[in-house]
Amino acid sequence: MKRVVSVSLGSTQRDHVVVASMLGQDIEICRRGTAGDIGRAVALYRELDGTVDAIGVGGIEFFMLVDGRRHYWRDSKRIRTAVRISKVGDGNGVRALLAARALRALEQKLNSEGRTLKGMKALKMSAVARYTLAHALVTAGCDVTFGDFMFGLGLPFPVRRLSTVRALSQVLMPVVTQIPYGWMYELGEGQVAPPVPKWIGYYAAADVIAGDYLMIRANMPDDLRGKIIVTNTTTARDVEELRVRGVHLLVTETPRLNGRSFGANVIEATLLALIDKPQTAITASDFEDLIDRIPLKPSVEVLNP
């Protein structure tokens, strides 16, 4: 049996283990949180290195990819140097593929309801975080508001154009990526604290709310009736939270395995474990071919008719 472990800086309450069968092989996929403790995470990476087939990097990523430009997080350097033997993925290798497939699946579902993404108002929590999804929403014809200043910095400045995002990222990201990661993103047990509603008008105005689930959840209001959520990692508890708030559709870029959709880092690590090549020889085409053959499909769930 192949083994894949995702080491996350997130809450231990979101840990999960599942055994999945893919292309005739059993794979144990495990998520282990470290409650925001980078030192503990680095020690765990070192402990696992060489003992598992692939390791996923959760709760942080090696770099932010904005319009093809990489902005490396200072805090991730210790992780990059801790893993020397096992294959390792932070999600950046598959994120664009997963985002495009998720929106195609959503478009098909909307078409069955007599609707289309084109012209829908969308709120993307952050464009520099998961830029590929932001770009995919624009390509699909959505009228997108980007909440980088609001949800990232607490400043009341919505951004309306991707060109503005690109320009700002070139100026700000070299500075932002040098500050402690926990200043920009909730880590540890804070991830499971009750939401604190904020920027409610922006949630209300959107037909589609997209981005990292923990960013969506942190400030989401009680009323999300009729909304479409496009996101990544969700537990059974997360799904119920959205159901009681009236969400119509929940779209996750990754399939639901034993009640949980895993993050892109887990999917990338799983694919790396299944590909019989050195990691340096693996291409985007290898990932896409394997995703098709397994197949790994996005999840589209109707939570409320």
CB 59 within 8 A of CB 42: no
Q: Is 139 helix (H, G, I), strand (E, B) or coil?
A: helix
pLDDT at 189: 65
> Is-cis flag, bond preceding 278, omega within 30?
no
Task: Supply the pLDDT for residue 188.
Answer: 60
Amino acid letter for position 108: Q
Residue bearing tokens 């098909």: 108
Beta strands in 37-120 (DSSP E): 54-58, 63-66, 69-72, 87-89
C-alpha 263/C-alpha 252 separation (Å) is: 9
In this predicted structure, what is the pLDDT of residue 36? Answer: 86
Q: In terms of residues, how long is the chain? A: 305
Q: What is the 3-state secondary structure (H, E, C) of 54-71?
A: EEEEECCCCEEEECCEEE
Helices (H), 206-283: 213-218, 236-244, 264-274
DSSP class of residue 191 equals G
User: 2-94+259-297 is classed in which CATH architecture?
Assistant: 3-Layer(aba) Sandwich (3.40)
Helices and strands (H, E) in the chain, number of each type: 10, 15
Q: What whole-number distance in Å separates Cα of residue 243 and Cα of residue 155?
A: 29
> Identical fold at 2-94+259-297 and 95-256?
yes
Residues 6+ apart with CB under 8 A from 164: none
User: In angstroms, rounded to a whole number, what is the distance separating the alpha carbons of residues 12 and 261?
Assistant: 16
| Whole-number Å distance between alpha carbons of 103 and 147 | 20
Note the CATH architecture for domain 95-256: 3-Layer(aba) Sandwich (3.40)
Residue 190: its pLDDT value, please?
64
* 58: nearest Cα among 15, 97, 28, 99: 15
Pairing between β-strand 25-33 and β-strand 2-8 as defined by DSSP bridges: parallel
Q: Is 163 exposed, middle or buried (0-12, 13-18, 19+ CB in 10 A)?
A: exposed
Residue 21, beta-bridge partner list = 26
- Give the whole-angstrom CA distance, residue 131 versus residue 230: 14
- Domain range summary for the chain, segments of one domain joined by +: 2-94+259-297, 95-256
Instruction: Write out the chain's pLDDT in tens, 305 residues.
Output: 999 999 998 888 888 899 999 999 999 999 999 988 889 999 999 999 999 999 999 989 999 999 888 999 998 999 989 999 999 999 999 999 999 999 999 999 999 999 999 999 999 999 998 899 999 999 999 999 999 999 988 889 999 999 999 998 888 889 888 988 777 676 766 677 889 999 999 999 999 999 999 999 999 999 999 999 999 889 889 999 999 999 999 999 988 877 778 889 999 999 999 999 999 999 999 999 999 999 999 999 999 99
**Residues linked to residue 10 through DSSP beta bridges, in sequence order:** 188
Please answer whether residues 6 and 41 qualify as being in contact, where contact means their C-beta atoms are separated by less than 8 angstroms.
no
pTM: 0.91
Provide the token pair at 78: 């210790």
